[in-house]
Amino acid sequence: MPEAPALDPRLARALVEVVGADHLLTDPDVTAGAAVDWTGRFRGATPAVVRPGSAAEVAGVVQRCAAEGVALVPQGGNTGLVGGSVPLAGEVVLSSARLAGVGDVDPDGGRITAGAGTSIAAVQAAAAEAGWAYGVDWAARDTATVGGSVATDAGGLHVVAHGSTRAQLLGVEAVLGTGEVLDDLGRLEKDATGYDLSGLLCGSEGTLGVVTAARLRLVPALPDRALAALGFGSWADAVTAVGLLRRGLPGLEAAEAHGAAEAALVAGHLGASPALDPPPAVTLLVGCAGHGDQVDALAAAVDGLAGVTGAAVADDGARRAALWRHRESMTEAISTLGSPHKMDVSLPADALAGFAEEVPARIAAVAPEARTWLFGHLGDGNLHVNVTGVAPDDAAVDDAVLGLVLERRGSISAEHGVGTAKRRWAAEQRGPTAMAAMAAIKAALDPAGILNPAVLL
Amino acid sequence: MPEAPALDPRLARALVEVVGADHLLTDPDVTAGAAVDWTGRFRGATPAVVRPGSAAEVAGVVQRCAAEGVALVPQGGNTGLVGGSVPLAGEVVLSSARLAGVGDVDPDGGRITAGAGTSIAAVQAAAAEAGWAYGVDWAARDTATVGGSVATDAGGLHVVAHGSTRAQLLGVEAVLGTGEVLDDLGRLEKDATGYDLSGLLCGSEGTLGVVTAARLRLVPALPDRALAALGFGSWADAVTAVGLLRRGLPGLEAAEAHGAAEAALVAGHLGASPALDPPPAVTLLVGCAGHGDQVDALAAAVDGLAGVTGAAVADDGARRAALWRHRESMTEAISTLGSPHKMDVSLPADALAGFAEEVPARIAAVAPEARTWLFGHLGDGNLHVNVTGVAPDDAAVDDAVLGLVLERRGSISAEHGVGTAKRRWAAEQRGPTAMAAMAAIKAALDPAGILNPAVLL
């Protein structure tokens, strides 16, 4: 582990004044867990973890650190995959652990306020209690937090139906780099009064402000569901099918895909046969929700698709859960093969199949010993390219994949963010005008440059 | 009419070099129409209307004007209602008329690119041709443009289903105040690579950049529709019904409301009896779309509502069109009574009914001779408060309405923007931290301060 820099005693005293001695953690045994991401690929060191309990305390922490020129990394559930919430340059970690909790539910309007440290699962539960649902979901729901999801504009399983986190976000409470508290929690669905500062903070990865709470829109809780695994002979057939399902299947809420080798891997990991046996070249998991018989609706939509080589429809909760378990175990199954390189990319619909067909060869060309694993959210053009069998610091594989993404006019980060891992590629994708505009905005809102300075820019 | 300032001859020559002599219009007879909004309430003067034909030409115009410190007002269809696209301080008008046209439709992905000067109706037609629909619609569809709708984050009739313009916006091409061309047209639904600059420009009312084109997401074209006019005894009953319909009616795509006097006014204007005769205290127009019998679906959802005093269900296209014609003639009918004050506000669901009940009395208290007209998009908490019988420059009425909005934690501009008309109130709603952040961002992206300097900030 890299050595932690020492915390200046004057700053330490100032921070204790703000948060109390119990919430400035400096014992390396205690802070070590906050210095590394869960995959183990990004490992840093920190002089301290500070745990403010309110927006005012966060403002105090930011002001003290700005005055001393000491950088901060905001950290929620630390489930990120791009090194964006880890103190890689010796930053102080600002934890959202004490900013958790749900408050102010609007049952007629379908809105909820949640502290930055609230888990996504807790938001989902509170939404359900109010007779609504939260439109965002992914496997790390019990650990990932509202603050992190806003900071990274997290996507997940239902983007095809409800959009990413930014689409749920009415407004934030956040402490800007200036140390001021921005209170935009009162923003409404239809609110054209001035710049969308909350939307700007969403996806800025903690470089402009520290999100302390969010006001989120809810979506209708739909009572009936169906899920089917569909087999296709090629990525092209699966992409065409997704385009038709998006137009023709009411209530489409997920369209996930993976290849044959991936199906076999996860089946082996779970000790169960794959959903379609033998696994087809591409498996598409299609879910829909609504009122009334969803199995019928799904079957009718699937009936009109070309190229379906096999289908398994889950018509009860247990079968749906089994299919989802397969899908959600993909990351875990791949991890048993070592620490993978993870590239999270999205492509325009007309480039998606070509990318999926070509990427294994591009990787093999620079790393013949590598194995490529492809899965993702085909409904919104998002593929997770995982590569095992290469050293963690081997950049050639990442370069091969991300270079192909840009050739095909895609995005080098679909839902994980840029972090420290993809900064060079972000600049290449966005271009000099966008990067200059981003730098100018960063300087405007974080003039001391202390908020997550190692990521993105 | 105010007198137009003269255009500096050196700047005139420079602009002719950029756009050609045919596209720098300085004859006051020709430019007069661009100096006033369609309601006639906002009347300015301009030395010139410049009509660039490409993003590069827009950049040339912005650069020349920035060098001379001459301010610009971008103008699309000039259908705005808050004086945001009118040269009230003698600005040069930058017209998007030659930036019209639809290109690059992605039929599988459901995406379309349109120039800033393209009408909303043209986008809708191109979407339909590709087998999709555009999620935004409002009465001014034939005149209002993509550029203006992005600059103001325009809402309209279907926000309850698809969100406002920002929710459709994948990315923009725009010329920033620095004179640089930002090309974000390649952004995708799921794209977490850096700040959402397009979303920031959306709703910034031309103060940060001139939008030259937009990449828009499309939504499924749904084959079946139903529409019903429902009567309620109070705004409270109508608001409760909307909350239940949002949760329980699949495919809800519009929930519009108006009072009894408004129903009578528009019926008189059209020479037809209102949908529900006699008009109830509140009429709610509910539309849904989907696959299969929508009249059944709508009837089932309405069946579960309390407080419905009457209902008229439109089960064919002609009856739906007649109901919509009533709704869309509201603005026109009110205009026959004189030039109204128009306040476009949104409220949290739990404050909406109280606001609607109280606002006529608040207005009467400061303008006993005034008449108050209330209609709007109840589904997303948006009411249009129109007031007739008061002088155009009488600020007391606006102050009474917007003051009540802020008391009830609402937004003083739901979908029309701030423009010049509501600047003071925008500052009050957003608060000093947000306004300072907005000013800092403005200075970062428009350092010469020439883009629509009279609005918003």
pLDDT, average across residues A78-106: 92
Residue B22's CATH number: 3.30.43.10
Residues 6+ apart with CB under 8 A from B317: none
Q: What are phi and psi of B75, to 5 degrees?
A: -140, 125
**Does A443 reside within a domain?**
no
Question: Do residue A58 and residue A117 come from a single domain?
Answer: no
Q: For A25-77, how does the pLDDT look when each residue is reduced to its tens digit (9 = 90+)?
A: 999 999 999 999 887 878 999 999 999 999 999 999 999 999 999 999 999 99
Report angle CA A112, A118, A122 to the nearest 5 degrees.
70
pLDDT, average across residues B327-351: 92
* A56 and chain B in contact, CB less than 8 A: no
Question: Do residue A134 and residue A194 come from a single domain?
Answer: yes
Please give the pLDDT value at position B343: 92
How far apart (Å, rounded) are the C-alpha atoms in residues B359 and B372? 8
CA distance A389 to chain B (A): 27
How far apart (Å, rounded) are the C-alpha atoms in residues B135 and B68? 41
Question: Do residue A48 and residue A141 come from a single domain?
Answer: no
**Does B457 reside within a domain?**
no
Domain-ending residue, one of A220, A237, A272: A220
Local structure of B319: helix, strand or coil: helix
Question: Do residue B306 and residue B208 come from a single domain?
Answer: no
* A415 and chain B in contact, CB less than 8 A: yes
Of A193, A204, A412, Cβ closest to residue B195: A204
**Does B428 reside within a domain?**
no
Please answer whether residues B385 and B401 qualify as being in contact, where contact means their C-beta atoms are separated by less than 8 angstroms.
Answer: yes
How far apart (Å, rounded) are the C-alpha atoms in residues B355 and B106? 44
Contact yes or no for A193 and B441 at CB 8 A: no
Which ranges of B171-234 would DSSP assign to H, the alpha helix?
197-201
Please give the pLDDT value at position B369: 95
How far apart (Å, rounded) are the C-alpha atoms in residues B339 and A444? 41
Question: Which of A81, A82, A85, A108 to mutate to probe the B interface, most B CBs <10 Å?
Answer: A108
- In chain A, which residue's Cα lies nearest the Cα of B189? A380
How far apart (Å, rounded) are the C-alpha atoms in residues B138 and B144? 9
Of A183, A220, A440, Cβ closest to residue B247: A220
Residue B380's CATH number: 3.30.70.2740
Question: pLDDT over 70 for what percent of chain A?
Answer: 100
Contacts of A131 in chain B (CB under 8 A): 247
Contact yes or no for B411 and A111 at CB 8 A: no
* A436 and chain B in contact, CB less than 8 A: yes
**Does A54 reside within a domain?**
yes
Question: Do residue B211 and residue B137 come from a single domain?
Answer: yes
How far apart (Å, rounded) are the C-alpha atoms in residues A190 and B152? 11
Q: For A289-307, how does the pLDDT look when each residue is reduced to its tens digit (9 = 90+)?
A: 998 899 999 999 999 899 9
Please answer whether residues B418 and B82 qualify as being in contact, where contact means their C-beta atoms are separated by less than 8 angstroms.
Answer: yes
Q: For A101-160, how does the pLDDT look when each residue is reduced to its tens digit (9 = 90+)?
A: 998 888 888 999 999 999 999 999 999 999 999 999 998 999 999 999 999 999 988 999
Q: What are phi and psi of B454, to 5 degrees?
A: -85, -10
Neighbour-count burial for B237-265, b at 16+ CB within 10 Å, e otherwise? bbbbbbbbbbbbbbbbbbbbbbbbebbbb
Please give the pLDDT value at position B2: 61
- Alpha carbons within 13 angstroms on the beta-carbon side of residue A95 total 18
How far apart (Å, rounded) are the C-alpha atoms in residues A296 and A358? 36
Q: For B133-171, how does the pLDDT look when each residue is reduced to its tens digit (9 = 90+)?
A: 999 999 899 999 999 999 999 998 899 999 999 999 999
Question: Do residue B216 and residue B104 come from a single domain?
Answer: yes
How far apart (Å, rounded) are the C-alpha atoms in residues A360 and A261? 12
Question: Do residue A117 and residue A168 come from a single domain?
Answer: yes
Task: Outline where DSSP puts E strands in B154-307.
Answer: 169-176, 181-183, 209-217, 219-220, 224-232, 252-259, 282-290
Contacts of A246 in chain B (CB under 8 A): 110, 220
How far apart (Å, rounded) are the C-alpha atoms in residues A177 and B284? 46
Contacts of A164 in chain B (CB under 8 A): 189-190, 192
Burial zone of A271 (CB within 10 Å; 0-12 exposed, 13-18 middle, 19+ buried) = exposed
**Does B435 reside within a domain?**
no
Residues 6+ apart with CB under 8 A from B216: B111, B112, B113, B114, B123, B134, B146, B168, B169, B170
**Does A450 reside within a domain?**
no
- Has residue A417 got a pLDDT over 90? no
**Does A116 reside within a domain?**
yes
Please give the pLDDT value at position B40: 81
* A441 and chain B in contact, CB less than 8 A: yes
Q: For B94-121, how does the pLDDT look when each residue is reduced to its tens digit (9 = 90+)?
A: 999 999 999 888 888 899 999 999 999 9
pLDDT, average across residues B439-452: 98
Please answer whether residues A386 and A400 qualify as being in contact, where contact means their C-beta atoms are separated by less than 8 angstroms.
Answer: no
Tokens coding B306: 């309390």
Question: Do residue A139 and residue A74 come from a single domain?
Answer: no
Contact yes or no for A131 and B194 at CB 8 A: no
Of A109, A191, A246, Cβ closest to residue B220: A246
How far apart (Å, rounded) are the C-alpha atoms in residues B378 and A109? 11
The complex scores an ipTM of: 0.95
**Confidence bin at B41 (pLDDT 50/70/90):** confident
Integer angstrom CA distances of residue B163 from A161, A278, B253: 13, 43, 10
- Type and span of the H or E element at A149: helix A146-152
What is the dihedral sign for C-alpha A179, A180, A186, A188? negative
Please answer whether residues B341 and B397 qualify as being in contact, where contact means their C-beta atoms are separated by less than 8 angstroms.
Answer: yes
Please give the pLDDT value at position A344: 92
Q: Which amino acid is it at A421? A: A
**Does A115 reside within a domain?**
yes
Query: Can you spell out the DSSP letters for A246-297?
Result: HHH-TTEEEEEEEEHHHHHHHHHHHTS--SSSSPPSEEEEEEEEESS-HHHH
How far apart (Å, rounded) are the C-alpha atoms in residues B456 and B46? 20
Residue B313's CATH number: 3.30.70.2190
Please give the pLDDT value at position A2: 61
Of B182, B412, B437, Cβ closest to residue A193: B412
How far apart (Å, rounded) are the C-alpha atoms in residues B175 and B182? 6
Question: pLDDT over 90 for what percent of chain A?
Answer: 84
- Domain boundaries, position B49: 9-98
- Has residue A4 got a pLDDT over 80? no
Question: Do residue B178 and residue B228 come from a single domain?
Answer: no
Q: Name the least confident of A169-178, A390-399, B443-452.
A: A390-399
Q: How many domains does chain A have?
A: 4
How far apart (Å, rounded) are the C-alpha atoms in residues A208 and A447? 9
Domain-ending residue, one of B330, B348, B379: B330
pLDDT, average across residues A418-430: 90
Local structure of B328: helix, strand or coil: helix
Judged by CB atoms within 8 Å, which residues 236-255 of B form the interface with A? 239-240, 242-243, 246-248, 250-251
Question: Do residue A298 and residue A369 come from a single domain?
Answer: no
Of A194, A349, A440, Cβ closest to residue B445: A440
Contact yes or no for A194 and B108 at CB 8 A: no
Q: Which amino acid is it at B452? A: N
Question: Do residue B348 and residue B376 come from a single domain?
Answer: yes
Contact yes or no for B440 and A444 at CB 8 A: yes
**Confidence bin at A80 (pLDDT 50/70/90):** confident
Domain-ending residue, one of B310, B330, B350: B330
Average pLDDT, chain A: 94
CA A433, distance to chain mean position in Å, is: 26
- Has residue B13 got a pLDDT over 70? yes
Place of tokens 């009395």: B361
Of A193, A196, A377, Cβ closest to residue B166: A196
Question: Do residue B353 and residue B387 come from a single domain?
Answer: yes
Residue A153's CATH number: 3.30.465.10
Contact yes or no for B426 and A193 at CB 8 A: yes
Contact yes or no for B438 and A195 at CB 8 A: yes
Q: Sheet containing B252-259: which strands, arranged edge to edge? A: B308-314, B224-232, B282-290, B252-259, B371-377, B382-388, B341-346
- Has residue B89 got a pLDDT over 70? yes
